[in-house]
Amino acid sequence: MNILIVEDEVNQRKLLKKILSKEGYTVEEAGNGVEGIDLFFRGNFDLVLLDRKLPDKEGVEVLRDIKKINPIIPVIIITAFANVANAVEAMKEGAFHYLTKPIDPEELILIIKNSLDNLNLKRENIELKESLREKFRYDKIIYNSGIMEDLMSLIFRASKSDANVLITGESGTGKELIAGAVHNLSLRNEKLFVTAHIASLAETLIEAELFGHEKGAFTGADKRRIGKFEFASGGTIFLDEIGELPNSVQVKLLRVIEEKKITRIGSNEEIPIDIRLICATNRDIEKEVEKGTFREDLYYRLNVIRIHVPPLRKRKEDIPLLVSNFIKTQGKKEKKDVKGITDEALKKILKYDFPGNVRELENIIKRAVVFSRGDYLTGEDISVPVDKRLKYSGKLNDGVRNLERGMIEEALKKHDWNQSKAAKELGISERTIRYKIGKYKIKKS
């Protein structure tokens, strides 16, 4: 870590440099404000120790110039004169801390460590925002169909509002990509886009993951942890598979939406939050409301703006563009110069209905690129599953077995090979589905 000391007193500079060098920091020095600003502009520093009284400039002026060059670098003001008004002024201009001479080495090191932790968090947030902005760019939604034109129009209009959004659609249609596009086109796009995949969380941990917890709140809570809602404050939070949310947490989510406050587990303190909420589900959410498994009042709160993502089978005119994009992307990853796909192979793809939607298409193309030998993907490279429900032999037992295998395989694909969810849809136990998977030697493709 590189630290810049801007201090006109030579002995003070030497003392500070000695303290910091012992801690393993690389230190550079400047004797006045102009020299300090020039060094900061040309260098690559992680922190600045800045004297408030310099021979050529006020420390606060130098602070302003440093913040113009790089606003996230922490600046610690040091001075021989303790003055509350001066401290307040420096903090308003962006100083991380304010220390009076003589400097206590232990206090200085502690404050520097805290400021560098804060800097690392800021840098991680910037990198996260940039990577998410790239991942969820709206121009990554590839389409040619009229149905997707209408969807994009709705996304643009929804992004200009701060209202809650509910995205529906089958598994693999790209609901998270849609949510990210809404965020990136919104006024909150400089803030974080935080995702929480409800189905991937143990039911006992969902509340802690969303709302956070205090140290000792439950077994294993060895330190305080902020939840995703608190972390996302100022930006957007995306709750995927909201239909999986347990009823106990549904009640708490409703309160968060109404009151704009969260309470960590193990605490009574209410923490204000400012978030845009986007949720998604592949379930028929209205049926869940009718059955009583999803709260009606919460449903109405979430379903302010509805975006339904159509399945791939209803927009097959988008497939050639998607295939071309996946070939290009996977070709780069595999360092293979695959130029395209033959008409024969494309026709084979277009005949298939893709129960796994865009995600399934992408996986088929990825596999084809990996195993391809020529400049173009051929029919032999494309491995499209056969709909086994239609492949009966002359014997009833064989037909029943083929039908059963096909239904199990389709349910597994629909639920991303989650055996529990597939079993639930088929009305059988997890133990039964595991037995059937072994019996029919069903493997994830």
DSSP string for 347-372: HHHHT---TTHHHHHHHHHHHHHHH-
Q: Return the DSSP state at 24.
A: T
Higher pLDDT pick, 226 / 167 = 167
**Helix (H), strand (E) counts: the chain:** 18, 16
- pTM attached to this predicted model: 0.64
Mean pLDDT calculated for residue range 260-279: 94
pLDDT one-digit tens code per residue, 72-120: 899 999 887 666 666 677 778 888 888 888 888 999 999 999 888 888 8
Domains of the chain: 2-127 (3.40.50.2300), 136-308 (3.40.50.300), 312-377 (1.10.8.60), 390-439 (1.10.10.60)
Strands (E) across 136-192 are located at 165-168
Q: Return the DSSP state at 53.
A: B
Please report, for residues 132, 194, 311, the alpha-carbon distance to residue 199 in angstroms, rounded to integers and kept in the order given.
21, 16, 21
pLDDT one-digit tens code per residue, 403-444: 788 889 888 888 888 888 888 888 788 888 888 898 888 887
pLDDT one-digit tens code per residue, 379-402: 989 988 765 444 444 566 666 777
Average pLDDT, the chain: 88
Higher pLDDT pick, 214 / 138 = 214
Is the N-terminal amide bond of 105 cis, ω within 30° of 0?
no
Q: What are phi and psi of 293, to 5 degrees?
A: -85, -15
Please report, for residues 112, 269, 273, 303, 334, the alpha-carbon distance to residue 297 in angstroms, rounded to integers and kept in the order given.
49, 25, 21, 10, 49
Nearest Cα neighbor of 186 from 161, 165, 166 is: 161
Is there a contact between 261 and 271 (Cβ–Cβ < 8 Å)?
Answer: yes
| Cα distance between residue 158 and residue 123, in whole Å | 30
